[in-house]
Structure 1
Amino acid sequence: MSLTRREAIGAAAAVLASLTASAGTDAPNRKRPNILWLVSEDNNPLLGAYGDKLAHTPNIDALARDGVVFLNAFSTAPVCAPSRFAILTGCYAESLAPANHMRADAHLPPELRTYPEYLRAAGYYCTNNPKTDYNCDVDPAHIWNESSAKAHWRNRPQGAPFMAVFNTMTTHEGKLFQPTAGRVTPEQVRIPAYLPDTPEVRRDFASYYNLMEKMDGEIGARQKELADAGLTDDTIVFYYSDNGGALPRTKHYAYDQGFRCSLIIKAPPRWRHLLPASAGGEVKEPVSFIDLAPTVLALADVRKPAQMQGSTLLGNDTLRGRRWVFGMRDRMDERYDMIRTVADGRYRYIRNYMPHRPWGVNLGYCWMMASFQSWEREFRAGRLNAAQARFFQEKTFEEFYDLQSDPDQVVNLIEDPQHRARIGQFRQALDRHMVTINDNGFIPEGGAAEGYERSRDRNLYPLKKAMSLASAAARRDPRKLQLFRARLSDSNEVIRYWAAQGLLMLGPAAAAARTELETTLRADPSTAVQIVAAEAVVKLGNPAPAVQRLADILGSKLPLTARLQAINALTFIGEAARGALPQIRAAAEEDEIYMRTTGRYLAAVLDGTYEPGYPSFDYSWFQRKMGLTK
């Protein structure tokens, strides 16, 4: 019989007490290291240790000189909550829907225990200060000894080894909503090829370098605490950023900058042999944050549980032959998408399962940044070149980039015959990975197949069949019309959903399926399928009944996920959405942040009052939610 999470914590406490009592004051520290995680928010490796000439990061650079720099370290998602789920559990968020969506509340069954639970059971005192954002229903108070802004390794029982996490918000995306002055000035920065060179863009880049310098000081202060306590020789220190950068087309997006992170590990002499390179060395093999949980368990001599999908970063041979790292993007705040990607450090392959949506869909929170507003303003004025304007256009199904020759990823090599064999390897690697981890991304949010056990029931979730159908849909091949029509009456919700998506993405080429789509929007037992069918019917020239159905769903008391999908569909049907304007305006007055944000945005678009600086996102709500206000 498996223990509940509460029972596991009780057992951990008993083990800790017995270890401390029997081993003497310092015995645990002589056997096992303390572990210190220093975590920054939303940043790429804009660090001197990674060769950035503008960066002023002396504390992190010093850590790197005594430690190991992982040159190709990647988060599993380009945003915090799904990334933190993977770090906490050692499982990809897309293995347990709805954890793959930003700000969700997936149910974590007791048998999937988190790394602090395993460490506590092994006698470690575990603290988290203060951010959680785990995207699941674990109670931080139950998995940590302490989880608060006051949590600290100093509070451990005498002689107990500790595992302490300190998070700094200094470089968080929200800090870019106001300029930060410092030694880096706007004229010094390099603007990527996908962005316009405007004063707002330059200001935000300079601000971010200055925020990085401030964050570096905080990382140095935490290391000084350790040194002042005489614990430097007993502690392995990790520094990493929780996901990629906060600047436009980094965080939230499936390009390399959305996933590429800092990772530096420093070990004192007695444990230095565990690291994959000597002090001051570099590791070029790609590594993923899915590896963090197995790594700390290995340091505590805890066997990696079967649930954990990564491997340890320790030992000279552990990374030899490592080739692939994987990433995902599903719902980001109020906007739906589905993207999967695989990289090897040199190349990145991206697969867009919803190419009918542009990359640059308005995200209320992101658009509080002046650089995002400036980018859209330049697009609306027609002042962007092709590389810069592409962000606001529909996607292609596949993308492939050479990160060495094209670090800004503006030259898509997917049709380049010189890379055909290589692209085939990346495709196969991604397909294998998605099957291996049981990728839940094809399940519509709120669907019957969501959940760890349910998604492993192939009657509820025929994954391989869904993968094949979704790829056919995203290729937008008119020759697949009959396939989508046939699958629209399948007994499985996931299959019907992707059949409807296929017809939606075909646009006018799906005209022969209009009658079936009209029946689906009225009678399908799945609200998610109805919504996709309704949008497809609007595109086929019969908006009135479809818009009415979307309006009814939006104005109903159905779950938030259904209503959010409905207002997203309304957002992409243009002037036809006026038929749902009363419900849209009502959504704009709701307390729920995503409904309010999408409602305000769409109402402003339909009223003709929208401009790139329109305040659709309620930042005061976010500050309260994240505990950023006193």
Structure 2
Amino acid sequence: MRSFLSETTCLFVVLVVSPWFNSANAQAETARPNFVFIIADDVSPDDLPCYAPSPVKAPHLDRLAAEGRVFDRAYLTTSSCSPTRCSIITGRYPHNTGAPELHLPLPAGQFMFPQALRAAGYFTVLSGKNHLGPNIFTAFDQISPGRGPGKEGDWVRQLRERPQDKPFFMWLASTDAHRPWQTSEQDPVYDPASAVVPPFLVDGPQTREDLAAYYHEISRLDRFVGKVVDELQRQGIAENTYVIFTADNGRPFPRCKTRLYDSGVKTPLIVWRPGTIKPGRTGALASVIDLAPTILQLAGLPIDPRVQGVSLEPLLANPQATVRDVAFSEHNWHVGQAHERSVRDGRWLYIRNAYPALQSLCVESGPQEPAGRELWMVYAAGTLKPEQGDVFLQPRPAEELYDVEADPHQLRNLLGKSEATEEMAAVHARLQQALDQWVAETGDAVPTNPTPGANVVGRGQGMGREFRHRELPGESRNASSLNAPGPIRLSTP
């Protein structure tokens, strides 16, 4: 069910910045920009043709990518629906928001950048998937549940019916491409034979059909992105508009959603403003925690000291710039019990697991969904390939290190391997130190009384009315009131 309590929400995000609309009878008194933020549900960049070879038809995203700034190394702070959204709206790491686990509402009193925009005179709207909880109502003048299978149906209406005498910010939240799949007649139906199956999944008929249905939902989202851009052009404000597109977590498939590999936390991020942003790609590191300060800076507002991210504005002007040397992500309770932390520097990814005795499962990893079911069938038959066995590992490594450039799917953990080099040892030590510093400064902590895990092999088991979240990550150190961001730039290469 797609609601605040739905399991994740992936997301594409479009951020629009422009001077507010001048009607025939009113003139803008200021050049403050407008913002439209569109976030998709459960979409990985590898499934978009502007990022990787893909059969998906997404002409409107292709256009934004061709004409705007494409971020090739953008990462989420977690690959989990509501925690990602809470992290984005606050500009804070999940364990610092007070809502680091799935289905937790953002607590009252946390900073929210749309609220700062509203206080500065912006008209603010949330349309579509919420999954942030009721305390975000103070940040928005208007909240709409959206319409249609992807909840995108009133996005254009929101743009048309907004007040003409105010700058605006719109958070447009799709439920595409979240399970269960829904079809629409206007959008492409894909041949399963065309699916691109990653090596950690089974290349079989059920997985291919599953991927084809997922592609359909991405194309539906793309169609509504196009409608938004068309409306901006119709109103004559496209050249004064920044469009930022992103998602809330990776594709809803085994070893993707919830995970700290690129298949889980690497996210599409595209920023478009014709005439202002020169087309091009950047390999600079970026995090979704950086969206809040970026928007505030583009709006001409101060960046609140509670924000832990950094502005991406330098990368919009110069794709060769650098704003951060490291990006951090976390994996907390998402139906299954978890406490993993990661740090990456662009080439190297280091992961630390506080619960190595546990399997790393989410609902999509179980046999109730086609791709998961085919994976479990092959496992039971004893014909599983080594690269397909991750979700069955028990125990798991306490530490993992990957050369992402040489191993783009992160299939070979380099720690403890015979081919380990002095360079790998130095990288391991450097990233360990960076992660230790981040844990200490942001107040992260492993719970002593953690939220119990549900039986994620059967959807919804263990999630009855008696279920309660217990001690949260960082709660023992009062992390929700700490503002230190941890390391952003490193003193040594």
TM-score normalized by the length of structure 2 = 0.79
Amino acid at match of 1:216: D
Amino acid at match of 2:382: G
| Partner of residue 192 from structure 2, selected from 180, 186, 190 | 186
Judge conservation of contact 2:68–2:279 (CA < 8 Å) in 1.
yes
Mark the CA change 1:222 to 1:588 in structure 2 (over 3 Å): closer, same or farther: closer
Aligned to 1:85: 86
Aligned to 1:320: 322
Q: Does 1:297 align with 2:296?
A: yes
Matches for 1:382-401 after TM superposition, within 5 Å = 382-394=382-394, 395-401=396-402
Mark the CA change 1:243 to 1:231 in structure 2 (over 3 Å): closer, same or farther: same
Judge conservation of contact 2:312–2:323 (CA < 8 Å) in 1.
no
Aligned to 2:332: 330
Q: 2:312 & 2:461 partners in 1: Cα distance?
A: 47
Amino acid at match of 1:126: T
Secondary structure, in 3 states, of the residue corresponding to 1:27?
A: coil
| Partner of residue 120 from structure 2, selected from 122, 126, 131 | 122
Amino acid at match of 1:34: N
Mark the CA change 1:390 to 1:589 in structure 2 (over 3 Å): closer, same or farther: closer
Q: Does 1:442 align with 2:446?
A: yes
Amino acid at match of 1:103: H
Judge conservation of contact 2:105–2:131 (CA < 8 Å) in 1.
no
Task: Name the larger-Rg structure.
Answer: 1
Q: Does 1:424 align with 2:425?
A: no
Aligned to 1:583: none
Q: 1:410 & 1:143 partners in 2: Cα distance?
A: 42
Secondary structure, in 3 states, of the residue corresponding to 2:181?
A: helix
Judge conservation of contact 2:39–2:248 (CA < 8 Å) in 1.
yes
Mark the CA change 1:401 to 1:376 in structure 2 (over 3 Å): closer, same or farther: same
Judge conservation of contact 1:76–1:86 (CA < 8 Å) in 2.
yes
Q: Larger deviation: 416-425 or 301-310? A: 416-425
Aligned to 1:491: none
Judge conservation of contact 1:84–1:133 (CA < 8 Å) in 2.
yes
Mark the CA change 1:157 to 1:206 in structure 2 (over 3 Å): closer, same or farther: closer
- Alignment deviations for residues 347-386 of structure 1 (CA, whole Å, 9 cap, x no partner): 21111110000124x6379653211111112212212122
Task: Show structure 1 runs of 5+ residues with no match.
Answer: 1-18, 273-277, 444-496, 498-527, 530-560, 573-586, 596-630
Q: 2:97 & 2:134 partners in 1: Cα distance?
A: 12
Count of aligned positions = 424
| Partner of residue 132 from structure 1, selected from 130, 152, 155 | 130
Q: 1:365 & 1:359 partners in 2: Cα distance?
A: 9
Q: 1:331 offset after TM fit, Å?
A: 0.5
Secondary structure, in 3 states, of the residue corresponding to 1:174?
A: coil
| Partner of residue 162 from structure 1, selected from 151, 168, 190 | 168
Q: 2:194 & 2:65 partners in 1: Cα distance?
A: 25
Mark the CA change 1:147 to 1:592 in structure 2 (over 3 Å): closer, same or farther: same
Which fold has the larger relative contact order, with Cα–Cα distance below 8 Å and residues 6 or more apart in sequence?
Answer: 2
Secondary structure, in 3 states, of the residue corresponding to 1:138?
A: helix
Mark the CA change 1:232 to 1:96 in structure 2 (over 3 Å): closer, same or farther: closer
Q: 1:198 offset after TM fit, Å?
A: 1.9
Judge conservation of contact 1:34–1:162 (CA < 8 Å) in 2.
yes
Aligned to 2:486: none
- Alignment deviations for residues 91-145 of structure 1 (CA, whole Å, 9 cap, x no partner): 1111144x11111235232xx32111100111111111122212x55142x2201
Mark the CA change 1:252 to 1:64 in structure 2 (over 3 Å): closer, same or farther: same
Matches for 1:104-119 after TM superposition, within 5 Å = 104-109=104-109, 112-119=110-117
Judge conservation of contact 1:40–1:169 (CA < 8 Å) in 2.
yes
Amino acid at match of 1:57: A
Q: 1:396 & 1:220 partners in 2: Cα distance?
A: 44
Matches for 1:612-627 after TM superposition, within 5 Å = none
- Alignment deviations for residues 198-247 of structure 1 (CA, whole Å, 9 cap, x no partner): 21112222322232222211211111122122221232211111222222
Judge conservation of contact 1:81–1:133 (CA < 8 Å) in 2.
yes
Q: 1:53 offset after TM fit, Å?
A: 4.2
Judge conservation of contact 1:325–1:342 (CA < 8 Å) in 2.
yes
Mark the CA change 1:92 to 1:589 in structure 2 (over 3 Å): closer, same or farther: closer
Amino acid at match of 1:442: V
Aligned to 1:239: 245
Amino acid at match of 1:402: D
Mark the CA change 1:86 to 1:592 in structure 2 (over 3 Å): closer, same or farther: same
Amino acid at match of 1:352: N
Aligned to 1:307: 306
Judge conservation of contact 1:83–1:243 (CA < 8 Å) in 2.
yes
Aligned to 1:143: 139
If each structure's helix is expressed as a fraction of its own residues, which one has the higher value?
1
Identity of aligned residues (%): 28
Matches for 1:440-479 after TM superposition, within 5 Å = 441-443=445-447
Amino acid at match of 1:52: P
Aligned to 2:465: 592
Aligned to 1:372: 372
- Alignment deviations for residues 19-77 of structure 1 (CA, whole Å, 9 cap, x no partner): 99xxx93325x512211222221111122222324232111111112211011111111
Aligned to 1:284: 283
| Partner of residue 210 from structure 1, selected from 202, 216, 223 | 216
Root mean square deviation of aligned Cα: 3.0
Judge conservation of contact 1:127–1:153 (CA < 8 Å) in 2.
no
Judge conservation of contact 2:202–2:371 (CA < 8 Å) in 1.
no
Q: 1:267 & 1:420 partners in 2: Cα distance?
A: 43
Aligned to 1:415: 416
Judge conservation of contact 1:126–1:153 (CA < 8 Å) in 2.
no
Q: 1:139 & 1:78 partners in 2: Cα distance?
A: 21
Q: 2:200 & 2:463 partners in 1: Cα distance?
A: 36
Judge conservation of contact 1:182–1:207 (CA < 8 Å) in 2.
no
Judge conservation of contact 1:73–1:289 (CA < 8 Å) in 2.
yes
TM-score normalized by the length of structure 1 = 0.62
Judge conservation of contact 1:83–1:242 (CA < 8 Å) in 2.
yes
Judge conservation of contact 2:253–2:364 (CA < 8 Å) in 1.
no
- Alignment deviations for residues 321-353 of structure 1 (CA, whole Å, 9 cap, x no partner): 5221111111012x2111111122322111111
Amino acid at match of 2:250: G
